[in-house]
Amino acid sequence: MFTFRLKNYIEKANFEDTGFSYTLSLISGKHKMVILYCLMEFEVVQFNELKRYLKNISDKTLSTNLKGLEADHLIVRTEYPQIPPKVEYRLSDRGKSLMVVLDQLCVWGENNRSANR
């Protein structure tokens, strides 16, 4: 009887309705978490600095990721009207609140990195 109820529950459950799914949708992809980590570490970063930090990333891919993070209100883009143009990125308050979670991923990695060697 218990197995039947559990199966019924699983069939009605929808992963996409969970907070975990929502968080993953914000930070999924190869570069988003690294961009957020960089902004956490260095606070205010320009486009070319991010590009150097990420090493092998195209301008288009970096730009797309930054636009996505900005659209999700995780980062703030500040453009200065000067020549040459200057653009800086920093974490928004919402992005800073996510750093608690990402910081725990870092702690877990530090604690478990040597266990797998």
**pLDDT, averaged in runs of 10, over the chain (117 residues):** 60 77 86 93 94 92 96 96 92 94 86 76
Task: Give the count of domains, the chain.
Answer: 1
**CATH number for 98:** 1.10.10.10
Check residue 20 and give its pLDDT. 81
Check residue 36 and give its pLDDT. 94
**Would residue 6 count as lying in a domain?**
no
Check residue 7 and give its pLDDT. 63
Cα–Cα separations (whole angstroms), residue 21 to 28, 44, 53, 85, 94: 10, 28, 28, 37, 17
Check residue 80 and give its pLDDT. 92
**Would residue 83 count as lying in a domain?**
yes
- Whole-angstrom Cα distance, residue 4 to residue 112? 38
Residue 51 burial class via C-beta count within 10 angstroms: exposed 0-12, middle 13-18, buried 19 and up: middle
Domain that holds residue 40: 29-116
Check residue 60 and give its pLDDT. 95
Check residue 6 and give its pLDDT. 58
Task: Give the pTM.
Answer: 0.81
Check residue 117 and give its pLDDT. 62
Check residue 72 and give its pLDDT. 95
